[in-house]
Structure 1
Amino acid sequence: MNDAAIAFFAARLAYQTDVSDTAAAGRTVTVVDFRSRAAWDQGHVPGAVHLPTAEIPDRADAVLDRTRPVVTYCWGPGCNGATRAALALARLGFDVREMIGGIEYWIREGLPVETRDGTVTADPDPLTVPCGC
Protein backbone atom coordinates (compact mmCIF):
# COMPACT_ATOMS: atom_id res chain seq x y z
CA MET A 1 0.00 0.00 0.00
CA ASN A 2 1.29 3.47 -0.86
CA ASP A 3 0.75 5.53 2.31
CA ALA A 4 1.99 8.75 0.71
CA ALA A 5 -0.49 8.46 -2.17
CA ILE A 6 -3.32 7.64 0.22
CA ALA A 7 -2.53 10.68 2.37
CA PHE A 8 -2.26 12.92 -0.69
CA PHE A 9 -5.60 11.89 -2.20
CA ALA A 10 -7.37 11.92 1.16
CA ALA A 11 -6.15 15.49 1.74
CA ARG A 12 -7.37 16.55 -1.70
CA LEU A 13 -10.83 15.19 -0.95
CA ALA A 14 -10.83 16.86 2.46
CA TYR A 15 -9.90 20.30 1.15
CA GLN A 16 -11.26 20.37 -2.40
CA THR A 17 -14.76 20.06 -3.74
CA ASP A 18 -16.08 20.04 -7.26
CA VAL A 19 -18.71 22.12 -8.99
CA SER A 20 -21.54 19.61 -8.74
CA ASP A 21 -20.90 18.95 -5.03
CA THR A 22 -20.79 22.70 -4.37
CA ALA A 23 -24.08 23.19 -6.20
CA ALA A 24 -25.62 20.31 -4.25
CA ALA A 25 -24.42 21.78 -0.93
CA GLY A 26 -26.58 24.85 -1.52
CA ARG A 27 -26.86 27.17 1.45
CA THR A 28 -24.98 24.83 3.81
CA VAL A 29 -21.76 26.47 2.60
CA THR A 30 -20.71 30.03 1.81
CA VAL A 31 -19.37 30.27 -1.72
CA VAL A 32 -16.82 33.05 -2.19
CA ASP A 33 -15.54 34.61 -5.43
CA PHE A 34 -12.13 36.26 -5.23
CA ARG A 35 -11.93 37.68 -8.75
CA SER A 36 -11.98 41.32 -9.80
CA ARG A 37 -15.13 43.44 -9.84
CA ALA A 38 -15.18 43.26 -13.66
CA ALA A 39 -15.04 39.44 -13.58
CA TRP A 40 -17.70 39.32 -10.82
CA ASP A 41 -20.02 41.56 -12.86
CA GLN A 42 -19.49 39.38 -15.93
CA GLY A 43 -20.84 36.37 -14.04
CA HIS A 44 -20.63 34.60 -10.68
CA VAL A 45 -22.20 31.75 -8.73
CA PRO A 46 -25.65 32.89 -7.54
CA GLY A 47 -25.59 33.71 -3.84
CA ALA A 48 -21.78 33.90 -3.73
CA VAL A 49 -19.96 36.54 -1.70
CA HIS A 50 -17.55 38.82 -3.54
CA LEU A 51 -14.31 39.18 -1.58
CA PRO A 52 -11.22 40.07 -3.62
CA THR A 53 -8.15 38.28 -2.28
CA ALA A 54 -6.39 41.50 -1.25
CA GLU A 55 -9.37 42.35 1.00
CA ILE A 56 -9.42 39.05 2.93
CA PRO A 57 -7.44 40.27 5.97
CA ASP A 58 -9.66 43.33 6.43
CA ARG A 59 -13.10 42.04 5.42
CA ALA A 60 -13.31 38.26 5.92
CA ASP A 61 -14.75 38.41 9.43
CA ALA A 62 -17.27 41.05 8.40
CA VAL A 63 -18.67 39.15 5.40
CA LEU A 64 -18.20 35.46 6.26
CA ASP A 65 -19.92 33.34 8.89
CA ARG A 66 -17.33 31.28 10.78
CA THR A 67 -19.96 28.64 11.61
CA ARG A 68 -20.36 27.66 7.94
CA PRO A 69 -17.79 26.05 5.67
CA VAL A 70 -16.41 28.37 2.99
CA VAL A 71 -15.90 27.27 -0.61
CA THR A 72 -13.50 29.37 -2.68
CA TYR A 73 -13.47 29.69 -6.43
CA CYS A 74 -11.80 31.76 -9.09
CA TRP A 75 -11.67 31.64 -12.89
CA GLY A 76 -10.85 28.01 -13.57
CA PRO A 77 -8.29 25.23 -13.46
CA GLY A 78 -5.65 27.44 -15.08
CA CYS A 79 -5.74 29.89 -12.17
CA ASN A 80 -4.55 29.38 -8.59
CA GLY A 81 -6.43 32.38 -7.16
CA ALA A 82 -8.88 30.19 -5.28
CA THR A 83 -5.96 28.26 -3.78
CA ARG A 84 -4.30 31.48 -2.57
CA ALA A 85 -7.60 32.71 -1.15
CA ALA A 86 -8.27 29.38 0.57
CA LEU A 87 -4.82 29.50 2.14
CA ALA A 88 -5.41 33.04 3.42
CA LEU A 89 -8.76 32.03 4.92
CA ALA A 90 -7.31 28.86 6.47
CA ARG A 91 -4.60 30.98 8.10
CA LEU A 92 -7.40 33.07 9.63
CA GLY A 93 -9.01 29.91 11.03
CA PHE A 94 -11.89 29.43 8.56
CA ASP A 95 -13.13 25.97 7.58
CA VAL A 96 -12.38 26.22 3.86
CA ARG A 97 -12.38 24.16 0.69
CA GLU A 98 -11.44 25.03 -2.87
CA MET A 99 -13.94 24.44 -5.69
CA ILE A 100 -11.90 22.84 -8.45
CA GLY A 101 -12.82 23.95 -11.96
CA GLY A 102 -13.90 27.42 -10.84
CA ILE A 103 -16.53 29.49 -12.60
CA GLU A 104 -15.42 28.00 -15.93
CA TYR A 105 -16.63 24.52 -15.01
CA TRP A 106 -19.67 25.91 -13.19
CA ILE A 107 -20.72 27.40 -16.52
CA ARG A 108 -19.67 24.31 -18.51
CA GLU A 109 -21.90 22.14 -16.33
CA GLY A 110 -24.89 24.32 -17.24
CA LEU A 111 -25.39 25.78 -13.78
CA PRO A 112 -26.94 29.25 -13.40
CA VAL A 113 -24.70 32.31 -13.41
CA GLU A 114 -25.68 35.66 -11.96
CA THR A 115 -24.63 38.71 -13.97
CA ARG A 116 -25.33 42.40 -13.47
CA ASP A 117 -28.14 41.94 -16.03
CA GLY A 118 -29.75 38.91 -14.39
CA THR A 119 -29.33 35.16 -14.16
CA VAL A 120 -28.31 33.17 -17.24
CA THR A 121 -27.77 29.48 -17.87
CA ALA A 122 -25.72 27.98 -20.69
CA ASP A 123 -26.30 24.59 -22.23
CA PRO A 124 -24.15 21.96 -20.49
CA ASP A 125 -20.92 21.05 -22.26
CA PRO A 126 -21.31 17.40 -23.37
CA LEU A 127 -17.63 16.83 -22.50
CA THR A 128 -18.28 17.59 -18.83
CA VAL A 129 -21.89 16.50 -18.23
CA PRO A 130 -22.78 13.90 -17.16
CA CYS A 131 -19.57 12.93 -15.45
CA GLY A 132 -21.02 10.00 -13.59
CA CYS A 133 -18.16 9.72 -11.14
Structure 2
Amino acid sequence: MSNVLSVPPAGPARAADHFAARMAFETDVSDVHADLEAAVPGLVVVDVRDLTAWRQGHLPGAVHLPRREIAERAEREIPAGSAVVTYCWGPGCNGSTRAAYEFARLGYPVKEMIGGYEYWVREGFAVRTVTGLVRRPADELTAPRTGAACAC
Protein backbone atom coordinates (compact mmCIF):
# COMPACT_ATOMS: atom_id res chain seq x y z
CA MET A 1 0.00 0.00 0.00
CA SER A 2 1.18 3.48 -0.80
CA ASN A 3 2.05 5.84 2.02
CA VAL A 4 1.35 8.80 -0.26
CA LEU A 5 -2.01 7.51 -1.44
CA SER A 6 -3.23 6.09 1.89
CA VAL A 7 -5.27 9.30 2.03
CA PRO A 8 -6.54 9.87 -1.51
CA PRO A 9 -5.66 13.17 -3.18
CA ALA A 10 -8.37 15.80 -3.31
CA GLY A 11 -10.26 16.14 -6.54
CA PRO A 12 -8.90 18.62 -9.06
CA ALA A 13 -11.43 21.37 -8.25
CA ARG A 14 -10.77 21.17 -4.50
CA ALA A 15 -7.02 21.04 -5.13
CA ALA A 16 -7.20 24.12 -7.37
CA ASP A 17 -9.14 26.01 -4.67
CA HIS A 18 -6.64 24.98 -2.01
CA PHE A 19 -3.55 25.99 -3.97
CA ALA A 20 -5.11 29.26 -5.13
CA ALA A 21 -5.90 30.07 -1.51
CA ARG A 22 -2.30 29.37 -0.46
CA MET A 23 -0.98 31.68 -3.17
CA ALA A 24 -3.39 34.41 -2.04
CA PHE A 25 -1.65 34.37 1.36
CA GLU A 26 1.97 33.54 0.45
CA THR A 27 4.67 34.59 -1.96
CA ASP A 28 8.27 33.46 -2.31
CA VAL A 29 11.62 35.19 -2.30
CA SER A 30 12.12 34.93 -6.07
CA ASP A 31 8.83 36.67 -6.80
CA VAL A 32 9.53 39.35 -4.19
CA HIS A 33 13.00 39.89 -5.66
CA ALA A 34 11.55 40.26 -9.16
CA ASP A 35 8.94 42.77 -7.97
CA LEU A 36 11.47 44.81 -5.99
CA GLU A 37 13.78 44.91 -9.02
CA ALA A 38 10.85 46.05 -11.17
CA ALA A 39 9.82 48.66 -8.56
CA VAL A 40 6.21 47.45 -8.71
CA PRO A 41 4.06 50.36 -7.53
CA GLY A 42 1.93 49.89 -4.44
CA LEU A 43 3.99 47.01 -3.07
CA VAL A 44 5.65 47.46 0.32
CA VAL A 45 7.97 44.78 1.70
CA VAL A 46 8.19 44.94 5.49
CA ASP A 47 10.98 43.49 7.62
CA VAL A 48 9.37 42.77 10.99
CA ARG A 49 12.54 41.77 12.89
CA ASP A 50 14.17 43.87 15.61
CA LEU A 51 16.77 46.58 14.99
CA THR A 52 19.75 44.29 15.61
CA ALA A 53 18.52 41.87 12.95
CA TRP A 54 17.74 44.72 10.53
CA ARG A 55 21.28 46.06 10.88
CA GLN A 56 22.72 42.59 10.31
CA GLY A 57 21.09 42.62 6.89
CA HIS A 58 17.76 43.23 5.19
CA LEU A 59 16.19 43.19 1.75
CA PRO A 60 17.11 46.25 -0.29
CA GLY A 61 13.98 48.35 -0.56
CA ALA A 62 12.33 46.88 2.53
CA VAL A 63 10.76 49.01 5.23
CA HIS A 64 11.74 48.29 8.83
CA LEU A 65 8.70 47.95 11.07
CA PRO A 66 9.19 45.57 13.99
CA ARG A 67 6.21 43.30 14.52
CA ARG A 68 5.40 44.64 17.96
CA GLU A 69 5.16 48.20 16.56
CA ILE A 70 2.87 47.54 13.59
CA ALA A 71 -0.39 48.56 15.27
CA GLU A 72 1.17 51.82 16.47
CA ARG A 73 3.15 52.83 13.35
CA ALA A 74 1.62 51.21 10.25
CA GLU A 75 -0.87 53.96 9.41
CA ARG A 76 1.90 56.60 9.50
CA GLU A 77 4.52 54.60 7.60
CA ILE A 78 2.70 52.32 5.15
CA PRO A 79 0.50 54.09 2.60
CA ALA A 80 -3.16 53.07 2.75
CA GLY A 81 -4.06 50.61 0.00
CA SER A 82 -0.51 49.29 -0.32
CA ALA A 83 -0.09 45.56 -0.78
CA VAL A 84 2.17 44.49 2.07
CA VAL A 85 4.61 41.57 2.07
CA THR A 86 5.94 40.61 5.50
CA TYR A 87 9.10 38.70 6.29
CA CYS A 88 11.04 37.62 9.34
CA TRP A 89 14.00 35.25 9.84
CA GLY A 90 12.85 32.11 8.08
CA PRO A 91 10.69 29.00 8.13
CA GLY A 92 11.37 28.33 11.81
CA CYS A 93 9.95 31.71 12.86
CA ASN A 94 6.33 32.82 12.76
CA GLY A 95 7.03 36.53 13.16
CA SER A 96 6.01 37.23 9.57
CA THR A 97 2.77 35.31 10.09
CA ARG A 98 1.98 37.35 13.19
CA ALA A 99 2.87 40.54 11.33
CA ALA A 100 0.68 39.60 8.35
CA TYR A 101 -2.17 39.02 10.78
CA GLU A 102 -1.65 42.51 12.25
CA PHE A 103 -1.60 44.15 8.82
CA ALA A 104 -4.76 42.27 7.80
CA ARG A 105 -6.50 43.42 10.98
CA LEU A 106 -5.55 47.00 10.07
CA GLY A 107 -7.15 46.57 6.63
CA TYR A 108 -4.08 46.06 4.43
CA PRO A 109 -3.97 43.45 1.69
CA VAL A 110 -1.05 41.29 2.81
CA LYS A 111 1.05 38.27 1.91
CA GLU A 112 3.77 36.47 3.81
CA MET A 113 7.13 35.82 2.13
CA ILE A 114 7.77 32.13 2.73
CA GLY A 115 11.37 31.28 3.51
CA GLY A 116 11.98 34.73 5.00
CA TYR A 117 15.35 36.39 5.21
CA GLU A 118 17.09 33.01 5.40
CA TYR A 119 15.95 31.89 1.96
CA TRP A 120 16.54 35.34 0.46
CA VAL A 121 20.19 35.00 1.48
CA ARG A 122 20.40 31.31 0.55
CA GLU A 123 19.12 32.03 -2.96
CA GLY A 124 22.02 34.45 -3.44
CA PHE A 125 20.13 37.74 -3.43
CA ALA A 126 21.89 40.85 -2.13
CA VAL A 127 21.15 42.23 1.33
CA ARG A 128 21.80 45.69 2.66
CA THR A 129 23.96 45.89 5.79
CA VAL A 130 25.50 48.80 7.67
CA THR A 131 28.51 48.47 5.35
CA GLY A 132 26.52 48.36 2.09
CA LEU A 133 25.20 45.65 -0.21
CA VAL A 134 26.54 42.14 0.29
CA ARG A 135 25.75 38.89 -1.42
CA ARG A 136 26.57 35.30 -0.55
CA PRO A 137 26.84 32.60 -3.18
CA ALA A 138 23.58 30.77 -3.84
CA ASP A 139 23.10 27.63 -1.77
CA GLU A 140 22.76 24.83 -4.31
CA LEU A 141 20.11 23.21 -2.08
CA THR A 142 17.82 26.21 -2.64
CA ALA A 143 18.85 27.67 -6.02
CA PRO A 144 20.80 26.61 -9.10
CA ARG A 145 24.55 26.97 -8.64
CA THR A 146 24.74 29.08 -11.81
CA GLY A 147 22.63 31.87 -10.27
CA ALA A 148 20.03 31.41 -12.99
CA ALA A 149 16.41 31.26 -11.95
CA CYS A 150 14.95 27.81 -11.41
CA ALA A 151 12.09 28.73 -13.78
CA CYS A 152 9.51 27.16 -11.51
What is the deviation of 1:16? Answer: 0.5
Query: Highest relative contact order (Cα 8 Å, sep 6+), 1 or 2?
Result: 1
Q: Specify the alignment match of 1:8 in structure 2.
A: 18
Letter in 2 for 1:110: G
Letter in 2 for 1:18: D
Query: What are the superposed Cα offsets for residues 55-91 of structure 1, whole Å, 9 maximum, x if unpaired?
Result: 1111001111223311100000111110100010001
> Larger Cα Rg: Structure 1 or Structure 2?
2
What is the deviation of 1:124? Answer: 0.7
2:130 to 116, 121, 124: 116
Letter in 2 for 1:10: A
1:65 aligns with 2:79: yes
Number of corresponding residues: 133
Letter in 2 for 1:127: L
Quote the Cα distance in structure 1 between the aligned partners of 2:94 and 2:12: 28
Structure 1's unaligned 5+ residue stretches are none
Structure-1-length-normalised TM-score: 0.93
Detail structure 1 runs of 4+ shifted over 3 Å in the superposition: 2-6
Q: Is the Cα–Cα contact under 8 Å of residues 66 and 94 in structure 1 kept in the other structure? A: yes
1:47 to 61, 72, 79: 61
Q: Specify the alignment match of 2:46 in structure 1.
A: 32
Structure 2's unaligned 5+ residue stretches are 1-10, 145-149
> RMSD value over aligned CA atoms?
1.3
Q: Is the Cα–Cα contact under 8 Å of residues 113 and 119 in structure 1 kept in the other structure? A: yes
1:17 aligns with 2:27: yes
Q: Specify the alignment match of 1:77 in structure 2.
A: 91
Quote the Cα distance in structure 2 between the aligned partners of 1:99 and 1:16: 6
1:128 aligned counterpart, secondary structure = coil
Quote the Cα distance in structure 1 between the aligned partners of 2:13 and 2:102: 28
